[in-house]
Amino acid sequence: MTDIDIYTKLVTLPNDLKDEVGNYVDFLKSKVQGKGEVKTSRKAGLAKGLIRMRKDFDEPLDDFKEYME
């Protein structure tokens, strides 16, 4: 079966069934990846600058003042 044959069948389905087909394709891809296909590796530093710690991060919270005494 060619990609065009699969696409032709897919476009005739209602949207809810297209969602199911998409989920099944994702499932099949995860099975293939588990059998030795090389996954894309992560790259360090892609989120650099997106997360910032507040200066008072290590300070005790006011909500727990009575428990800290």
Tell me the C-alpha distance between 56 and 64, whole Å: 15
- Does residue 14 lie within any of the structural domains? yes
Question: Nearest CA to 34 among 22, 26, 46, 42?
Answer: 26
- Does residue 25 lie within any of the structural domains? yes
- Does residue 5 lie within any of the structural domains? yes
User: What is the tally of structural domains in the chain?
Assistant: 1
Q: Give the count of beta carbons closer than 10 Å to the beta carbon of residue 21.
A: 13
Residue pLDDT, tens place only, 23-51: 999 998 888 776 665 567 888 888 888 88
Q: What predicted TM-score, i.e. pTM, was given to this entire model?
A: 0.44
Question: Nearest CA to 60 among 68, 50, 49?
Answer: 68
- Does residue 9 lie within any of the structural domains? yes
- Does residue 64 lie within any of the structural domains? no
- Does residue 56 lie within any of the structural domains? no
Range of the domain at 27: 1-33
Radius of gyration of the chain (CA): 24
Tokens for 27? 């499932």
Residue pLDDT, tens place only, 46-63: 888 888 888 988 888 888
- Does residue 57 lie within any of the structural domains? no
